[in-house]
Amino acid sequence: MNRKNNTKLEIIREKLSGYVSKRDAEGAASMYTEDACFMPHQSPVHRGRAKIIEAYNSDFKKGVTGLTLSPCEVLEMEGYVAERGDATVTINIGEGRHIDRVVKYVVLWKNTPDGYKMHWDIFNPNNP
């Protein structure tokens, strides 16, 4: 992948992490295309930004307070970038305690007039 596109994706990943830490579902959903598919573990596909906002709000109610994305492999194609990696999801379990869950993910980034946006986002835990 060329350095310019990689830098753009790094900025977008950091922005998404910021939205999650602020519990901003609308901000997080803005990182996706209008007709994106958000496919979390043991859940139906959430298609479109309105459904993605609902999914993020549900995660925030379950205690999600942080997200760190660590790409392992990035492949560039015409108009798209495929990314595979690991993510750490921080969850507040009460009384000031947090746990980190490591998940694996695949994202298909689509190059739009507004820059790269997530078009497909699927993830599941490494451990139950």
pLDDT in tens, 22-44: 999 999 999 999 999 999 998 99
Task: Identify the H or E element spanning 23.
Answer: none
Q: Which CATH class is domain 3-125?
A: alpha beta
Which alpha helices (H) appear in 25-117, and where do they start and end? 25-29, 49-61
Closest CA to 69 of 109, 14, 1, 125: 14
Residue 128 pLDDT grade (very low, low, confident, very high; cuts 50, 70, 90):
low
The pTM assigned to this predicted structure is 0.91
DSSP state of 93: E
What DSSP element (H or E) covers 42?
none
Q: For the chain, what is the largest distance between any 2 Cα atoms, rounded to a whole number of angstroms?
A: 48
